Amino acid sequence: AKPIVAIVGRPNVGKSTFFNYVAGKRISIVEDTPGVTRDRIYTEVEWRGRKFTLIDTGGIEPYSENKIMQQMKRQAEMAVEMAEVIVFMVDMKDGLTASDKEVAVMLRKSGKPVILTVNKVDRVGELPAEAYEFYNLGLGDIMPISSVHGLGMGDLLDEIFKYF
Ligand code: GDP
Ligand code: MG
């Protein structure tokens, strides 16, 4: 069986955009506003002759802040159970949020490898100073990417393959 990698994170950080970029096609629905119910979506990714299955998590409905948090946790827990490696995505434009911190606590407890991925780093070059606050999550090093522009993808895929 191919190793499973799950993309986890609060709504609107760019999980589906990343998923679609890596899948090379538009499978997952990208929304400007969080809250569209989406099914879990799988794709096979091949990189440098090796393969894994990537899962995009979604399905969050904005009944209330609590509901979002609940569903996000449940979704993340399921993904964590299934996956060998977690891509935990945060958003450089929004910065570090309370929801990010909640997810990080749960992911750290899981003991699974977590790759902290900072999306929406749209410019090539030096890492913007804002990105450094994500080190406060206590998950180690960060991988900067831009899912819209396809930046940092090779480095992130190489990092994923280090774990299996
Ligand atoms: P999800 O809820 O985490 O799946 O997020 P989506 O993939 O639906 O994206 C939410 C919004 O962020 C959309 O408007 C995307 O176009 C935008 N977005 C995603 N990735 C990037 C990125 O790398 N840079 C910028 N500037 N916007 C992005
Ligand atoms: Mg999505």
Is the pLDDT reported for residue 59 higher than 50? no
Does the annotation place 35 within a ligand binding site? no
* CB within 8 Å of 33: residues ≥ 6 apart: 12
30 CA from centroid of ligand 1 (Å): 7
Task: Say what the pLDDT of residue 65 is.
Answer: 62
Q: Considering every ligand atom shown, identify the ligand nearest to the alpha carbon of residue 28 and give its number.
A: 2
- The pLDDT assigned to 37 comes to 39
Give yes or no for residue 160 having a pLDDT over 60.
yes
Question: What are the CA-CA distances from residue 92 to residues 9, 24, 98, 117 (Å)?
Answer: 13, 23, 14, 10
Q: What is the mean pLDDT of residues 24-41?
A: 58
Q: Indicate the range of 50-54, 58-62, 121-125, 150-154 predicted with least confidence.
A: 58-62
**Residue 164, pLDDT above cutoff 50:** yes
Pocket of ligand 1 (CB under 6 A): 9, 11-17, 30-32, 34, 58, 119-120, 122, 146-148
Distance 102 CA to ligand 2 centre (A): 19
Residue 95 assigned ligand-binding role: no
CA angle 99, 27, 139 (to 5 degrees): 30
**Tell me, what's the pLDDT at 61?**
41
Statement: residue 33 has pLDDT above 90: no
Whole-angstrom Cα distance, residue 68 to residue 19? Answer: 21
Residue nearest atom 17 of ligand 1, based on CA coordinates: 14
Residue 41 has pLDDT above 80, yes or no: no
**What are the CA-CA distances from residue 31 to residues 6, 28, 38, 151, 157 (Å)?**
19, 10, 11, 20, 24
Class of the 4-161 domain?
alpha beta
Which ligand 1 atom sits closest to the C-alpha of 31? 8
Higher local confidence (pLDDT), 13 or 71? 13
Segment 63-116, tens digit of pLDDT = 456 776 677 667 767 878 999 999 999 999 999 998 889 888 888 888 999 999
- If one counts every other C-beta atom within 10 angstroms of the C-beta of residue 37, the result is 10
- Residue 10 labelled as part of a binding site: yes
Look at ligand 1, atom 20, and give the residue with the nearest C-alpha: 14
**What are the tens digits of pLDDT across the range 121-159?**
999 888 899 999 999 999 999 999 999 999 999 999 999
pLDDT number for residue 139: 94
